[in-house]
Amino acid sequence: MTERPAPTTAPHAAGRPPLRRILYGVRRRIAVAFVLQAAGSIAGVVPFIAVTLIAERLTAGTAPSGGRLWPLASLACAGGLAAMVLGFTAGVVAHLADNRLQLGLRLDLARHIGRMPLGRVSAAGTGELKSAIQDDVHALHSLVAHTLLDATALLTAPLLALAYLLTIDWRLALLSVLPLAAGVYLFGRAMAGAKANMAEYGAAQSRISSAAVEFANGIAVVKSFGRGRRAHARFLAATDGFSEFFTGWVRATLIPSTAALLVVTPVVVLLVLVTAGVVFTGAGWTPVVDLVPFVLLGPVVSAPMGLVGARMQQIRTGQAAAARITALLDAPVLPEPAVPAAPADARVSMRGVSFSYDGSTDVLKDIDMDLEPGTVTALVGPSGSGKSTLAALLLRFHDVTTGTVTIGDADVRAIPAADLYRHVGFVLQDVRLLRATVADNVRLGRPEATDEEVKRAARAAQIHDRITALPKGYATVVGTDVVLSGGEAQRLSIARALLADTPIVVLDEATAFADPRSESLIQDALSTLAFGRTLLVIAHRLATVRSADRIVVLDGGRIAEQGRHEELLAAAGRYARMWRSQGLDASVDLTAPTASRDTSRPDLTPKGTHR
């Protein structure tokens, strides 16, 4: 299917209730399905009427003749077949409408997520986004493809049946509504408090789920501490709680809900009608033959009641899903600049920048900072001091609360997203690789790069040898054919950044989990990446960045001090204390006798001599 589905939520559909808005794009198809289903339901009553007529003719007193009976028998069969064919066609039309709706909605949602501010995306959590695109859209399926048609059938057939019965005998017809009325009343009683109970039901269910996940995730700890039985008991307490709640709920509504179901069963409906029929015919109010349509169609009148509970539940689920979908679609997108600006050069400057995630506590306060083109600026400070957040502002993962971030004199908010990321690249601690070939992962920022360029970047990032050792080389699919170690993934992401070749790079220096060999390789790769670029480094180990052109010390969201390593040591402030507490002034000389500490740039390019 190459046709692009029309946007499902057309702008003029806005302002309608969520469900109607979502269904707007497929409303014609749904209408067709409705009409087909209604016609099918009408056809479904025809056989009963035909059989009634047959009964009349057989009992009319004259000998039955084939010429009078066969057309009716054929009509009965044809009606049944037509009902089936129409019903299924309606089903297929509704399913196809649903199919189209699902694809359209999923693409719309994915596109919208792609335009929402990144901060909002990560706040929502990938679980929530996935469940909107997959589960909520899927929840609409029962509604669109089944429930709407069922509802049509459940309304059309009983109404038609009732109308026909009224023409036969209005008193008996009214009696046939009796079970239905009783069913509605009892059902209402049974559903009292259902909303609160449903909420509790869902809550209890998710308590079980998290208790089970906690039990399974913590099993290593639990078992290695010999505490298996206790965790076991915690989990069972959650499940027993659910079980008790459920039993209590059922017990409280058992009588009305059982009665509601029983009173509309065909047997009970027939009992009412046949008893009344015997009385009526015995009193001479009704001819015997008139009982036939009541026996045939009586159960049809009350049938919907048996299904209404399940259908109402589906409609509610569908409405809730639709509300979540529209809420996500209505979430504001990152505004595209009205007057796009272009960065003049690779100079970054932050002026009076403050930022708050929640609007009340500032994570960053009054930050003034400049990154000169071609220099290394290091962000240091205790965890929670705002280093990562500051770097994220440059990448426009969030927008500043006050102040400005400019690149080459252009406000980042005025730079169109695609242009921005041609200027700023990054290598973050949490390396993300796609389930695609190694080559495509490297090529992410420049899809048009040749194989040769990809290899050159991989070589510079010290990952080429590892790639060629993989079963399918550059065509190996990451995540399926191979799982790369943390260090390897990091080098691949450095290759990616090298190929993207942005003048500004944000770097999260983190090699805590790498073994010594891959740490060395990563460092060589980073040195290559740093060469000639404007670099903002989030540093966790002070030793790494002591030759930086500028070290910015963050503390509690403010810049505590900034300057070169030697200047900061001489200032004997916060940085000097950190340096001493890390024990670096003593250990560097001991552990790094070969590293030249005083030549200004010993590590610009890969050394390549260590192997």
Partner 1 sequence: MIRHLFHVLGREASGPLKRLLALMVGAAVLQGVAFALLVPLLRTLFSRGPGHAWPWLVAFAGCSLGYAVVQALCLSQGFTVGSRISRVLHRRLADKALDLPVGWFTGTRAAELGRLASQNVIQVMNMPAHLLRPMISSVFTPVTLVLAAFLFDWRVGVVLLLCAPVLLGVHVWSTRMVRRLDRGRDTAIDESADRVLEFAQNQPVLRAFGRTVDGHADLENALRAESDADRTLIVRGVPGLVSFAFAARMVFALALALQVAWALDGTLAAPTLIALVVLTGRLVDSVSASADLGAGLRIARNNLERLDAVLEETPFPQPTDPKVPTGTAVEFDQVSFTYPKTVASSTNGAAVAPPAVLDGISLRLPERGLTALVGPSGAGKTTVARLLARFWDTTAGTVRIGGVDVRDIAPERLAATVAIVFQDVYLFDDTIEENVRIGAPDASAERIRRAAELSGMDRVVAELPDGWATRVGERGTALSGGQRQRISIARALLKDAPILVLDEATAALDPENEAILESAIAELAVEKSLLVIAHRLRTVLAADQILVLEGGRISEQGTHSELVDAGGTYSDFWRERTRAEGWRLAAR
Residues 371-390 that bind partner 1 (CB under 8 A): 374-376, 378, 383-384
Q: At its nearest, how many Å lie between partner 1 and the CB of residue 366?
A: 25
Contact 395, 424 (CB under 8 A): yes
Which range binds partner 1 by CB under 8 A, 151-159, 160-168, 245-253, 313-321?
A: 245-253
212: which residues sit within 8 A by CB, 6+ positions away?
Answer: 235
What residues from 35 to 64 belong to the interface with partner 1 (CB under 8 A)? 47-48, 51, 54-55, 58-59, 64
CB of 172 to partner 1, least distance (A): 14
Give the 3-state secondary structure of residue 536.
Answer: strand
Angle at 590 between CA 584 and CA 592, to 5 degrees: 85
Q: Is 327 in the site for partner 1 (CB under 8 A)?
A: no
Residue 31 to residue 23: CA distance in whole angstroms: 11
- Rounded Cα distance between 493 and 439, Å, is 11
Return the structure tokens found at 447. Answer: 């899809």
Per-residue x/- marks for partner 1, 385-414, CB under 8 A? ----------x-x-----------------
Question: How far apart, in Å, do the first and last CA atoms of the chain sit?
Answer: 54
400, two tokens: 């500043």
Applying the rule CB under 8 A, the residues between 555 and 594 that interact with partner 1 are 581-584, 587-588, 591-594
Binding flag, residue 461, partner 1 (CB under 8 A): no
Rounded-to-integer distance, Cα 114 and Cα 120, Å? 11
Task: Give least dist CB 330 to partner 1, A.
Answer: 18
Question: With respect to partner 1, which residue has the nearer C-beta, 468 or 485?
Answer: 485
Among 186, 509, 528, 538, binds partner 1 (CB under 8 A): 509
**Per-residue b or e along 488-518, where b marks 16 or more CB atoms closer than 10 Å to that residue's CB:** bbbbbbbbbbbbbbbbbbbbbbbbeebeeeb
Residue type at position 555: D
- Tell me the per-residue interface mask from 144 to 183 with partner 1, x by CB under 8 A, - otherwise: ----------------------------------------
Closest separation in Å from C-beta 603 to partner 1? 6
Angle at 19 between CA 14 and CA 21, to 5 degrees: 25
For the record, the structure tokens of 452 come out as 């040769």
- What does each C-alpha distance from 411 to 12, 339, 357, 377, 477 come to in angstroms? 34, 11, 20, 20, 39
Q: What is the 3-state secondary structure (H, E, C) of 114-152?
A: HHCCHHHHHHHCHHHHHHHHHHHHHHHHHHHHHHHHHHH
203 touching partner 1, by CB under 8 A: no
Q: Is 92 in the site for partner 1 (CB under 8 A)?
A: yes
Cβ-count burial 352-369 (b if 16+ within 10 Å, e if not): ebbbbeeeeebbbbebeb
Of the residues 43, 514, 525, 554, which one makes contact with partner 1 according to CB under 8 A: 514
Residue among 91 and 403 whose Cβ is closer to partner 1: 91
- Taking the CA atoms of 471, 476, 479 and 480 in sequence, report the sign of the dihedral they define: negative
Which CB sits closer to partner 1, 17 or 587? 587
Give the count of residues interacting with partner 1 (CB under 8 A): 183
Max distance between CA atoms of the chain, in angstroms, equals: 123
Segment near partner 1 (CB under 8 A); pick from 22-30, 97-105, 554-562, 567-575 = 97-105
Query: Exactly one of 181, 188, 225, 451 binds partner 1 (CB under 8 A); which one?
Result: 225
Report in angstroms how near the CB of residue 352 gets to partner 1 at its nearest: 25
Say whether residue 332 binds partner 1 (CB under 8 A): no
Choose between 166 and 289: whose C-beta lies nearer to partner 1: 289
Among 39, 42, 184, 208, binds partner 1 (CB under 8 A): 208
Chain length of the chain:
611
Find the binder of partner 1 among 114, 188, 340, 352 (CB under 8 A).
114
How far apart (Å, rounded) are the C-alpha atoms in residues 258 and 239? Answer: 26
Q: Which is nearer to partner 1, 549 or 561 (CB)?
A: 549
Of the ranges 23-31, 89-97, 552-560, 567-575, which one interacts with partner 1 (CB under 8 A)? 89-97
Contact with partner 1 (CB under 8 A) among 516, 566, 598, 608 = 516
Closest CA to 316 of 99, 91, 147: 147
Using rule CB under 8 A, residue 256 touches partner 1: no
Binding mask 437-456 for partner 1 (x = CB under 8 A): -------xx-x---------
Cα separations (Å) of 2 from 5, 27? 9, 22
